[in-house]
Amino acid sequence: MTRAVIYCRCSTEEECQKDALIRQAAEARECVCRLNWSLEDEYIESRSGTSTRGREQYQRLFSDLLRDKFEIVVIKSQDRLMRNTKDWYVFVDRLVTCGKRLYLYLENRFYSADDSLITGIKAILAEEYSRELSRKINNAHRNRQKTGSALMLTSNTYGYRKLPDKSLVLIEEEAQVKRKMYELCAGGLGSRCIARILREDGVRKRNGSFFTDSDIRRMIRNPVNKGTVVMNRKHYDFDTRQVVKNPQEQFYIYENRIPAIVSEELWKAANEEIDKRKKLVGNQERTARCFGVNPGKHVFSGKLVCGLCGAPFYRTTRKGKNHKIHEWKCKTYLEQGRKKEEKPGGCANIHLEEEKLFLLLERSGGKEILLDQEREITDSFMQLLKESLEENQKKNLEKYEQLEKKIKYQQQLLLDKYLEGLVEESLYQIKERELQNKLKNNTGSRTCRQKNRDFPVEEQEEVEKRLRETEQFLKEHHVILKAHVLCELKMVEKILIYPDHLKVVKKQGKCIIAAETFDMLY
């Protein structure tokens, strides 16, 4: 019997769309049954079709195409699978390569290679429809925010409850927790200390997990707590598939529009206290950035981001057999532990060894330094270092020569003063002996260096030892490779960490997928 699977999707998670998704799945099952096929699996989700990102069921289907699990994929229509032209061609390429077939039950036919042009045009039209729809939605949101007709706050805002008429009322128990945060912060306590106090008091968030330091900073910074609503901060860009921050001059600010949890004075005092704890990093006003009391000191600080929960990765250290091992771990994992079904919070992402991370990023950069190249660069560096040391010794010899000229000039000047009767004989003899001793010591040191290739024996051995240690350090710690990665990191905005791969996002918006991570991560 022919094996088949079904894929169903609706664009949103609204109630009417959920009903449509149920009907769509029922139609697909009925189609499989009517054609006497065996239903092996179902892939059903409620996500946008403009991109394959974040669509777990689609990703599972795309991966299962490589397995001998089914022969036919049943869908309602092409736009149910996706509305992105590039993703459509990628899917069809794998489908054909793996010998699978695609059945569109709304048209009652199989997809064939002859349909590639027509389906490509359909994908372009579907993508353009989604782009136009996104433009209209953004415009509608912007107009609502501009007129202030609807305050766009989530129903999960801590301290507030949204009523059916979309008005907000305070939840006094949660409001008391927020007031305590502001009072402690205004009193000079940092967010980590406040988080510890709340944890000791047993105060939890709505999802049952404890407040983190970043949660507290975000709440204290939020002007909603003083009754001010700020809208149009961000918008969704269809082409980049990302939420983009709007410039501050495009914000719509409405004061005293909702019940205030804290007064204007307390809100200002707490935020000024946070500002005092910042450190300015950078010389130029444009490029200077503010960090907290513990700013990131490592090149990866602020760049590694968890792809599962969005939290930053922190650097930790543990003891190995012979040396310390530096690892990067998700902030959520460090605060809440490993994610489990029986408890809320936590993160299930991997940990990264720093040495392996450098090597992996070097491989994914597209300009991998080969072993022979690394050796060649190391040898060139050591040669330059040796020449630099020799140049320093030549400069030292020049200093001896200049000192000798200076002493002889002082001797001649002293003799002239003595002959003119300006210096007594006893004083002349004392000063002359001092200058003779200086000249003798200086001449001896210069001669010793010249005879020993500009190095005294013990100093020459010490320099050679330092050169050997430097060369060994460069090779063992892959310094050349790391230097290459550091140069590449200047153009990197962030690095998203996933359990099976890394995604390097460059500042120009370009993404590089480092997929070969199974042997690099642990």
143-182: per-residue pLDDT in tens? 666 666 666 676 778 888 888 877 788 889 999 999 999 9
pLDDT of residue 406: 85
pTM over 0.85: no
Confidence of residue 417 (pLDDT cuts 50, 70, 90): confident
Q: What is the mean pLDDT of residues 351-365?
A: 74
182-224: per-residue pLDDT in tens? 999 988 888 888 988 998 889 988 888 888 888 899 899 988 8
Q: What is the mean pLDDT of residues 462-483?
A: 66
Q: At what angle do helices 191-200 and 172-186 cross, to 10 degrees?
A: 140
Confidence of residue 293 (pLDDT cuts 50, 70, 90): very low
- What single-letter DSSP state applies at residue 498? -
Of 390, 332, 349, the C-alpha closest to 522 is 349
The yes-or-no verdict on residue 226 having pLDDT over 80 is yes
Cβ within 8 Å of residue 154, ≥6 positions away: none
From CA 45, how far away is CA 41, in angstroms rounded?
13
Top-confidence residue, 409 or 378: 409
Burial class (CB in 10 A: 0-12, 13-18, 19+), 354: middle
Mean pLDDT across the chain: 76
What's the CATH architecture for 164-291? Answer: Alpha-Beta Complex (3.90)
Cβ within 8 Å of residue 454, ≥6 positions away: 390, 393, 394, 396, 397
Q: How far apart are the first and last CA of the chain?
A: 42
pLDDT of residue 73: 93
3-class SS of residue 335:
helix
Q: What is the mean pLDDT of residues 255-268?
A: 87
Where on the phi/psi map is residue 232: left (φ > 0), alpha (ψ -120 to 50), or beta?
A: left
pLDDT of residue 458: 61
Name residue 476's amino acid.
E
pLDDT of residue 36: 92
Q: Which letter, b or e, does each residue of 187-223 get, where b requires 16 or more Cβ atoms within 10 Å of its Cβ?
A: eebbbbebbeebeeeebebeeebbbbbbbbbebbebe
Could you tell me which CATH number the domain at 3-140 has?
A: 3.40.50.1390
Q: Are 488 and 360 in contact (CB under 8 A)?
A: no
Q: C-alpha angle 381/387/390, rounded to 5°?
A: 145
Q: What are phi and psi of 180, to 5 degrees?
A: -65, -40
Confidence of residue 296 (pLDDT cuts 50, 70, 90): low
Highest mean pLDDT among 64-68, 81-85, 125-129: 64-68
pLDDT of residue 39: 92
From CA 233, how far away is CA 224, in angstroms rounded?
13
The yes-or-no verdict on residue 394 having pLDDT over 80 is no
Of 51, 54, 62, 121, the C-alpha closest to 91 is 62
pLDDT of residue 179: 92
pLDDT of residue 14: 45
Q: Are 153 and 160 in contact (CB under 8 A)?
A: yes
pLDDT of residue 289: 47
pLDDT of residue 74: 93
The yes-or-no verdict on residue 512 having pLDDT over 70 is no
